[in-house]
Chains A and B, each alone.
Chain A
Amino acid sequence: RKEVEQDPGPFNVPEGATVAFNCTYSNSASQSFFWYRQDCRKEPKLLMSVYSSGNEDGRFTAQLNRASQYISLLIRDSKLSDSATYLCVFYTGGFKTIFGAGTRLFVKA
């Protein structure tokens, strides 16, 4: 089983839609979880951390399900500017980071 699996998409949604992505991980020792955003040909930038109790930042909600070993990202009221690739990231201890391949999102007017 791959260390991380992420639906590559693309997800094509209209403005104002709600869209959700999942990312599964295989290492139960994974300690910290993040979502990064990457615009075309740009560097990744942290979108939000993912906490066990779930957390929200404006239109974005992140959740962690340790039992099923996945994290999720929910985007409400999608904007054109949300079009990007979303990367899930896990830390498994020490300095070992695991990146998902990314989910591409296109928000259309």
Chain B
Amino acid sequence: NAGVTQTPKFQVLKTGQSMTLQCAQDMNHEYMSWYRQDPGMGLRLIHYSVGAGITDQGEVPNGYNVSRSTTEDFPLRLLSAAPSQTSVYFCASSRDTNEKLFFGSGTQLSVL
């Protein structure tokens, strides 16, 4: 059972480039979410989804897009990368709200 698979593990972008972070889970979880983690700060919610075809903004959504075409996949798109988006990104899923979050292994993103 793979759990939550997140790719890539590392990425370096130039300012203005776009890219997609991939996230897939095989636990049939309805809830999926993206967080970013910056030094000295807690994880902050970027976007989340409560099921296929349903997404919503979290605390820091600007500069990011998401879609949820299937239960399994929840990609995060950076439209035009900025140095302020340098961070560690985690995808997570859970069976329901208020339940245990299962995290992917994270993506270290640097924007130069």
- Mark A residues whose CB is within 8 Å of B: 4, 6, 8, 31-32, 34, 36, 41-46, 87, 89, 91, 94-102
Contact = CB atoms under 8 A, between A and B. Distances in A.
Nearest to A96: B45
Given A44-B103, A102-B42, 17 more contacts: A4-B42, A31-B98, A32-B98, A36-B101, A42-B105, A42-B106, A43-B104, A44-B43, A44-B101, A87-B43, A94-B97, A95-B56, A97-B101, A99-B35, A99-B43, A99-B44, A101-B40
Given A44-B43, A101-B40, A101-B42, A95 B101 contact: no
7 contacts: A6-B42, A43-B90, A44-B43, A91-B97, A96-B45, A97-B33, A98-B42
Contacts, number: 49
Contacts of A94: 97
Interface string B72-112: 00000000000000000010000001101101111010000
B48 interface: yes
B33 A95 contact: yes
Contacts of A101: 40-42
Interface of B: 31, 33, 35, 40-45, 48, 50, 56, 90, 97-98, 100-101, 103-106, 108
A44 to B, nearest CB: 6
Given A44-B103, A45-B103, A95 B48 contact: yes
Given A95-B31, A95-B48, A46 B100 contact: yes
